[in-house]
């Protein structure tokens, strides 16, 4: 079977990481997979219009979905995150999402909360909605984030793997860490991710020049990101909206405590003080970051890793995707 896989070509990103995993799952079953960048609608439509594909899989109800509904290729759609957490609140986007769900063979949801949202939008299509948790694998490189930033083992790193765009709110923690760093110079915030928004990236760079304790590494490879996560004291997530964050799942697998914003998606995964930590505001962020740095979190890290091994295995994800064809 020849399969078209539509996803954002931005690398690294959560959806790109997921696309590469799904590609491997289908190829392992002997299928031919062509990855198409959903950011280029004209080229995507041209490739899909030649009748070459037996079926298509799209990641993101809006990004890939709006392209797939213009074709005659049978398709299934994978929920992203901002599609249901942000796009669904816009009337025009909501209609596109509804059309995509109605036309899709399957709508693949990362967790029950996501399924509840799409089923409330299209209850008549609930029979096509299936839950497939992400399959997680980690592959840290020999990259050393402390050496790269000239930090010692005594320094405490709060690592934020995040593309620089509004929905990720990457500047949220900066005022907290800047003030904290003035009191304790060992506290550092390290941000790594694609500079997707020029205005926001320039603001980030301006803030870094103003005060110490804040570092921006730009985009790291997936392997280097995993190494930085593993070497950090805390992995942060400040997103205003999440589906099911690959970065959080990877940090849990690597054994680094996760401190994430209490939003839908994050709260469906993280059980506060059981397998990670949630915050609701800046004061909360510092409170729980200090708690993590001053308490033994071994049991919480073990719970997190065990949850990944039991619920988010590659084998479970592979079997689910191979069965939808």
Distance CA 100, CA 278 (A): 33
Distance CA 174, CA 190 (A): 10
Residues 6+ apart with CB under 8 A from 137: 21, 253, 314
- Which tokens hold the place of 277? 């930590």
Does one domain contain both 70 and 128?
Answer: yes
Instruction: Give me the pLDDT at residue 188, please.
Output: 98
Instruction: Give me the pLDDT at residue 164, please.
Output: 96
Q: Which residues of the chain have pLDDT under 70?
A: 10-12
Instruction: Give me the pLDDT at residue 11, please.
Output: 62
Distance CA 134, CA 111 (A): 9
| Phi (first) and psi of residue 258, to 5 degrees | -110, 135
> pTM value?
0.87
Sheet holding 55-59, edge to edge: 32-37, 2-7, 55-59, 75-78, 107-109, 129-131
Tell me if 303 is assigned to some domain: yes
H-run or E-run covering 271: none
Tell me if 184 is assigned to some domain: yes
Sign of the CA dihedral 19, 22, 23, 24?
A: positive
- Which tokens hold the place of 45? 């439509």
H-run or E-run covering 18: helix 14-28
Instruction: Give me the pLDDT at residue 115, please.
Output: 93
Tell me if 117 is assigned to some domain: yes
Residue 238 sits in which domain range? 145-310
Q: Give the count of domains, the chain.
A: 2
Instruction: Give me the pLDDT at residue 303, please.
Output: 97
Sheet holding 277-279, edge to edge: 214-216, 187-192, 156-161, 234-237, 258-261, 277-279
CB 12 within 8 A of CB 225: yes
Instruction: Give me the pLDDT at residue 308, please.
Output: 94
Tell me if 64 is assigned to some domain: yes
Does one domain contain both 127 and 247?
Answer: no
The CA R_g of the chain, rounded to the nearest whole Å, is: 20
Distance CA 70, CA 103 (A): 10
Strands (E), 154-265: 156-161, 187-192, 214-216, 234-237, 258-261
Tell me if 61 is assigned to some domain: yes
Does one domain contain both 155 and 126?
Answer: no
Tell me if 187 is assigned to some domain: yes
CA–chain centroid gap for 73, Å, is 27
Does one domain contain both 98 and 174?
Answer: no
Sign of the CA dihedral 10, 11, 17, 21?
A: positive
Residues forming beta bridges with residue 157, ordered by sequence position:
188
| Cα distances (angstroms) measured from residue 105 to each of 35, 252, 317 | 19, 32, 18
Instruction: Give me the pLDDT at residue 94, please.
Output: 93
Closest residue by Cα to residue 172 from 200, 198, 202: 200
Last residue of a domain, one of 76, 101, 132: 132
CA–chain centroid gap for 4, Å, is 22
Sign of the CA dihedral 245, 162, 79, 72?
A: negative
Tell me if 320 is assigned to some domain: no
Does one domain contain both 237 and 212?
Answer: yes
């Amino acid at each position: 079977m020849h399969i078209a896989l539509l996803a954002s070509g931005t690398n690294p990103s959560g959806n790109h990481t997921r696309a590469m995993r799904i590609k491997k799952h289908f190829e392992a079953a002997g299928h031919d997979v062509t990855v198409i960048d959903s950011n280029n609608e004209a080229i995507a439509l041209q490739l899909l219009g030649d009748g070459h594909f037996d079926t298509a899989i799209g990641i993101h109800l809006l990004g890939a979905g709006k392209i797939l509904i213009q074709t005659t290729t049978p398709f299934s759609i994978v929920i992203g995150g901002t599609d249901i957490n942000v796009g669904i609140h816009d009337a025009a986007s909501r209609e596109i999402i509804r059309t995509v769900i109605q036309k899709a063979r399957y709508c693949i949801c990362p967790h029950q909360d996501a399924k509840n949202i799409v089923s409330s939008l299209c209850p008549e299509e609930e029979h096509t909605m299936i839950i497939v948790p992400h399959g997680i694998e980690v592959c840290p490189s020999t990259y050393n984030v402390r050496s790269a930033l000239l930090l010692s083992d005594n320094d405490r790193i709060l690592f934020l793997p995040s593309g620089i765009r509004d929905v990720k709110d990457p500047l949220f923690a900066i005022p907290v860490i800047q003030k904290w760093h003035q009191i304790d110079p060992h506290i550092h915030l390290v941000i790594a991710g694609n500079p997707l928004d020029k205005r926001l990236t320039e603001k980030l760079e301006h803030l870094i020049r103003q005060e110490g304790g804040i570092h921006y590494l730009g985009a790291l490879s997936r392997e280097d990101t995993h190494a930085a996560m593993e070497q950090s004291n805390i992995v942060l997530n400040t997103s205003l909206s999440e589906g099911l964050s690959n970065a959080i799942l990877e940090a849990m697998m690597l054994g680094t405590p996760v401190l994430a914003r209490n939003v839908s998606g994050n709260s469906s995964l993280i059980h506060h003080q059981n397998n990670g930590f949630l915050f609701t505001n800046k004061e909360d962020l510092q409170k729980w970051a200090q708690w993590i740095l001053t308490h033994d979190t071994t049991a919480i890290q073990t719970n997190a890793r065990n949850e990944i091994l039991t619920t988010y295995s590659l084998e479970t994800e592979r079997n689910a995707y191979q069965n939808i064809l």
